[in-house]
Amino acid sequence: MSDLSTLREAVLVGNAEGAVAAAHVDLDGGTTPLDLMDQGVRPAMAEVGRRFEVGDYFVPELLMAARATKQVFEIVRPLLVSAGAKPQGRVVLGTVQGDQHDIGKNLVGAMLEGSGFEVIDLGVDVAPEKIVQAVQHTDVDLVGLSSLLTTTLAGVSAALEALVKADVRDHVKVMVGGAPVTDAFASSVGADGYAENAAVAVEVAKRLVAH
C-alpha cells in the first residue's frame, strides 16, 4: 500500500483534481478502497477540522476539502458496493435534523451495501418524523443515525424518542455514529449500537440484525 500522503495533502488543500489523480494511483498500487477512505481521506478531513477549529481554515476551505472528498468517493463507492455479499437486511440511514454533514454517512451506506445490506438513505437534516415514517412503511431491520455536530446530538435522542412515541422502537435496532458520538452517548440515549467508523458500522449492523 502507498503511504497515501499525496492524497491526504490534496484533500487538505481542497485540490479535487489532485485528490482524484492520487486516489487512482493509490488504488492501482494495491490500496483497498476502504483503506483509501479510512487512512487517506479521513485523517485529512480530521486535520481540516482541526485547522478550522484553530482559525486557520474557514467554511470555504471546509467546502473545498469536502468537494475533493466527494470526488474521491465517486471512484470508491462502486468498488465498495461491487464487493457485495448475500442479503443481510434493510437499513434506513440518515443524518439527523439540523446537520448537513453526509460524507461519513455515505461511506457507511456504501460499505453496508457492499456487505449485502439494502440501504434506504434519507439524506441529511432528517426530521424524527421522517425516520418514524420510514420504519412504519418499510420492513426495516436497522436505523443508522449520523451526527457530526455537538449541537445536533439532540437530534439523535429526538429520533429515538420519536420511535418510542410512535410505538415502533421494538421493530428496529438503532446504530449511531459521527465525530461527537461515543459509546457512552449511544447507551445514554438508548441506541443499540455505536460505530466509530464505516468498517465497524458493518460489524455492528451484522451483529444487530442477527438478534
Kindly list the residues in this chain that would bind ligand HCB in the complex (CB under 6 A).
Answer: 38, 42, 45-46, 48-49, 52-53, 59, 62-63, 65-66, 98-105, 107-108, 144-146, 148-151, 175-180, 195, 197-198, 201
Instruction: Please identify, using beta-carbon distances, which residue of 145 and 168 lies nearer to ligand HCB.
Output: 145
Instruction: Please identify, using beta-carbon distances, which residue of 12 and 168 lies nearer to ligand HCB.
Output: 12
- The arrangement of strands across the sheet holding 142-146 comes to 117-121, 89-95, 142-146, 173-177, 193-194
Residue type, 80: L
Compute the CA torsion angle 129, 121, 20, 63 (nearest 10 deg). -10
C-alpha separations of 175 from 21, 54, 103 in Å: 34, 31, 17
State the nearest-atom distance from the C-beta of 112 to ligand HCB, in Å. Answer: 9
- DSSP string computed for 170-191: GG-EEEEESTT--HHHHHHTT-
Closest to 119 measured CA to CA, from 141, 150, 96 = 141
State the nearest-atom distance from the C-beta of 190 to ligand HCB, in Å. Answer: 15
Instruction: Please identify, using beta-carbon distances, which residue of 36 and 168 lies nearer to ligand HCB.
Output: 36
Instruction: Please identify, using beta-carbon distances, which residue of 159 and 168 lies nearer to ligand HCB.
Output: 159
State the nearest-atom distance from the C-beta of 168 to ligand HCB, in Å. Answer: 18
